Amino acid sequence: MTITFEQLIALSPLLIVGLLVVIVMLSIAWQRHHLINVTLTITGFIIALLSCLLIGDRLPIEVTPLIYVDKYSLFYSILILIAGIGTAIYAYRWLAGYLDNKEEFYLLLSIAVTGVILLSMANHLATLFIGIELISLPLFGLVGYACTQKRSLEASIKYMLLSAAASAFLLFGMALLYAESGSLAFAKLGSSLNEHIIHYPVLMVGLGMMLVGIGFKLSFVPFQLWTPDVYQGAPAPVATFLATASKIAIFAVLMRLLMTSPLAESQALLSVLSVIAIAFILFGNLMAISQQSIKRLLGYSSIAHMGYLLLPLIAVQTDSVAAQITVSIYFIGYLFANLGAFGVVSILSSPYCGDDKDDISVYRGLYWRQPVLAIILTIMMLSLAGIPITLGFIGKFYLIISAINAELWWLTAAVIVGSAMGLYYYLRFMASLYSRQPITNNQSDKQSNVNLATLFALLGAVITILLGIWPQPLFEIAVAALAA
């Protein structure tokens, strides 16, 4: 097999991040320096991001039977790299007072970003599995990075054990699909399934087992029980990566797989996905109402948002292009809202620079101590709730339109009810930010807000408002992501 220069150019985002892994590893061996390694990591992600913007005109290209690079994969690679940059920026501040080795954090983060980029380019079940494992293995270390804290270590063990079980389901499902279709490539798998409809029940079992494995990564109900515990125990920057890059990449490859396979047209499968989506939305929002931990609240919120995103996937039969555009728009809003919300938590909650601010009561009166962070958190919560003039409203509006056009009335009702519940706990939390009776007044609250992490979160808040008021560039980006 020969790889042409054009194919190498198409692979440049993946190759750059892969090279970054080697550079960071050598840098750690040469000299341990926190600032140098975080600078290398962020610079590498930015270069990879720029390469994504420069190679768009050369696509689509099938690099190998396992990797297909098109504007769809490029779009999600850009979102992933933005999430990686945000995670590295927040981690630098979070780890500032960490007494053990800090540099390995960026090595593990770079490996995880390599995995999510590979996953966005997956055109084969083997690539899908390798990508998921490249995400999961470094996350075991990242979730338990603050190993001196029992909660972080417990979260890492839980995530590792459940992830191993999910990988077993995923492999078994792939084996069943291969046994009946004779191929692991998405396209050939789809055509083979059309010809072997007699084995349809076995194929459904295989696809179902794959959905169990993928469902764990996406916190599908009833495989979501790990999410709040891991989010709460993990360092706040790691929770940021889990909620954004990891879920975006896995959902993107799931959507590509189901749209390629004729099983996506199965009414039985769509019925199962509909039940899962309703359970997602109602369970996530109901559980978030009673939470006293901000990271657990955002964890349950992410479960509900994954339920919302299943709607266009279910409606893909009616209009596949509109469904993909809806998912693209929603993910842009979801990315910036979570980067901003988890970013503020990361800035405030490093246990090595003061108290670990995880309890919601600690945020009471935040506006009177740190107004910039309180305003950023307010904007992001409004966006997650889908309030007008925010980016989240645009995504949720198109989501409901997509469900109505597909006549998914029960799902539309679930979205409306779930949004009302979400609005309640988001507004309750936002109201506490502006209370005039702050519970704490720790020295860490008095630190200057002027730092790179705050500026990055503020940039996300500005983008959330600007695209919420003037969404035309958002539509153009979403349409460009589907251009052949």
Grade residue 23 by pLDDT with cuts at 50, 70 and 90. Answer: very high
Q: Which of 344, 441, 349 is nearest to 384 (CA)?
A: 344
56 has a pLDDT exceeding 90 = no
Q: Over the chain, what is the mean pLDDT? A: 84
Q: What is the largest CA-CA distance in the chain?
A: 69
Report d(CA 366, CA 377) in Å as an integer. 10
199 has a pLDDT exceeding 70 = no
Q: Is 222 exposed, middle or buried (0-12, 13-18, 19+ CB in 10 A)?
A: exposed
Report d(CA 396, CA 398) in Å as an integer. 5
The residue that leads in pLDDT, 468 or 442, is 468
The answer to whether the CB of 284 falls within 8 A of the CB of 321 is: no
Please give the pLDDT value at position 114.
Answer: 94
Give mean pLDDT, residues 159-167. Answer: 89
Please give the pLDDT value at position 207.
Answer: 78
DSSP state of 185: B
pLDDT digits (tens, 9 = 90+) for 133-145: 999 999 999 998 8
Question: b/e map of 379-392 (b: 16 or more CB within 10 Å)?
Answer: bbbbbbbbbeebbb
439 has a pLDDT exceeding 60 = no
Give mean pLDDT, residues 430-437. Answer: 84
Grade residue 441 by pLDDT with cuts at 50, 70 and 90. Answer: very low
Please give the pLDDT value at position 443.
Answer: 45
Grade residue 110 by pLDDT with cuts at 50, 70 and 90. Answer: very high
Q: Is 68 strand, coil or helix?
A: strand
CB atoms within 10 A of CB 482: 15
pLDDT digits (tens, 9 = 90+) for 302-317: 888 888 888 888 876 6
Please state the three-class secondary structure of 81-141 as a single string: HHHHHHHHHHHHHHCCCCCCCCCHHHHHHHHHHHHHHHHHCECEHHHHHHHHHHHHHHHHH
pLDDT digits (tens, 9 = 90+) for 474-484: 888 878 776 54
Domain extent listing, the chain? 266-484
Grade residue 194 by pLDDT with cuts at 50, 70 and 90. Answer: low
